[in-house]
Amino acid sequence: MSLLLKNCYLVTPGFEHGDMSVLVENGKIARIFAPSDQLPAADEVRDCENAILAPGFVDVHCHGRSGFDFCDASVEAISTIARNKLAEGVTTLLPTTLTVSEEQLSGAMKSAAEYVAGSDYAKGCKLPGVHLEGPFINGKLIGAQNPAYLRLPDIEEVKRLNAIFPVKKVSYAPEVEGGAVFASELLAMGITPSAVHTAATHKEFLDAYNHGMRNLSHFCNQMTPLHHRDIGMVGAGLLHEDVYIEFICDKLHICPDMIELVFALKDIKHIQLISDAMRASGMPDGEYDLGGMQTFVKDGAARLANGALAGSTLQICDALANVLDVTGIALSELIRTTSDNQAKALDLGKIGRIEPGYAADLVLLDDDLKVLSTYVDGTLRYSAK
C-alpha cells in the first residue's frame, strides 16, 4: 500500500518548507518531493492543504490518560491510554510506572504484554517498552510517589519485570546504596538509566555518570537545584553536554523563564519534551488517584492534599506550543525535542524524522499546533474530524 501526503508544510529536524509532499510505502517514508517535483501515483492521496506535517511524537514519560493509569494493571487501561495519546500526536509511548509493589508492577507489565499481543494494538500508538520511575528513589525528594514502597536498587527485580515485558528505561536516585553501579547493570541489559527524585550532589552524580548514566528525568523537578557551592543535578544537566534531560513544559512544573534559560544554555539535541501525565490528562477537573494517593486537579494542575504537584495533565502537542511561545526557536529545531532526541537517547530505531527509510509515524498539525491527524506506520489512527 502507498500513501501520498501532498501540499504539506514539512517539518523535520533541521528542515522546514511549504508545498512539500511525502510518499509512504509499506509503512515507511519512501520519498520526499519538493514543490517543483512531479508527484507519483499512489493508492491513497491526501491533500494536507499546507498543514504542518511532522514526525509523530514520542512520549517517554507518561503515567496515564483519560481516567486510567498504567499501574491499574489492566488491558483496558493500557489500551485506552495508547489510543487516546494519538489525539495529542504521540505515535510511540513508554508507559511509566509509579513507586508501588513489585506485584503491582508485574501486573502492569503483564497487561502491556497482553495488549501488544492483542488486536487492539493496531488501534493505538507503539509500545516498545516500559519506563520504570521508582521504586528506587530517595525518600527525601519523594514528590508524589508513595513512600510505603521505597526500596534500594535491585537489578534482579528489574530482570523479573523485563522478562514479562521489555523495560526500556529506569529512573531512580543514583546516590542511594548501590545506585552508581546500578547504572552499569542496567546498561548491560540494554536499559537506559536515568536520575530522578534524587538528592545527589554533583560528585555523587559523577559516580553514576562514570558508570554510564546520561539521562535526567523530569529535569529540575524533585532533584538538587543549582547552587554556587554545589551545582547539584540541575547544574549537572546543564554542564554535561552529552546528558539528555526530560522537560515538563507546562509552564507550571517549569516556569517560562526557566524554559527560556534551559533552551538558551542546553544543546537542543539533548532535550526531550515529556508529559509526565497522570490519569486526569484529557479529563475534567476533580479528584483522582495517583499510586494510592488522593490527587486534586484544579484548572488543569494536579496536586496532592499538601499542595505538592502530582504529575501533570499536559499533552505533548501543547508542550511543543508552549516552548515555541516562550523561546521563538524555529520549529525545525524544536521538533527534535518531541521525537528524534527520544529515539537517540533510548535507541528506539528509525523514528523521529521524515526521511526515506524511517517509519511513517507522522502527525498533521494546524497553525496552533493542535493535532489534525496521526499516522502510525503510514496508517491513519486518529483524525480530529
Give the residue numbers marked as catalytic.
276
Q: What is the DSSP string of 170-232?
A: EEE-TTSTTHHHHHHHHHHTT-EEEE-SB---HHHHHHHHTTT--EESSTTTTBPPP-SS--H
**Peptide bond before residue 135 is cis, with ω within 30 degrees of 0:** yes
Number of H helices, E strands in the chain: 10, 21
Q: What is the DSSP string of 284-321?
A: -SEEEEETTEEEEEETTEEEETTS-B-SB---HHHHHH
* Residue 52 in grid coordinates: 504542518
Per DSSP bridges, beta strands 167-172 and 192-195 are parallel
Number of Cβ within 10 Å of residue 218's Cβ equals 25
d(CA 8, CA 20): 5
Task: Print burial letters for 233-261: b (CB count within 10 Å at least 16), e (below 16).
Answer: bbbbbbebeebbbbbbbbbbbbeeebbee
DSSP 8-state code for residue 71 = G
d(CA 274, CA 291): 20
Q: How far is CA 42 from CA 5, 6, 136, in A?
A: 10, 11, 51
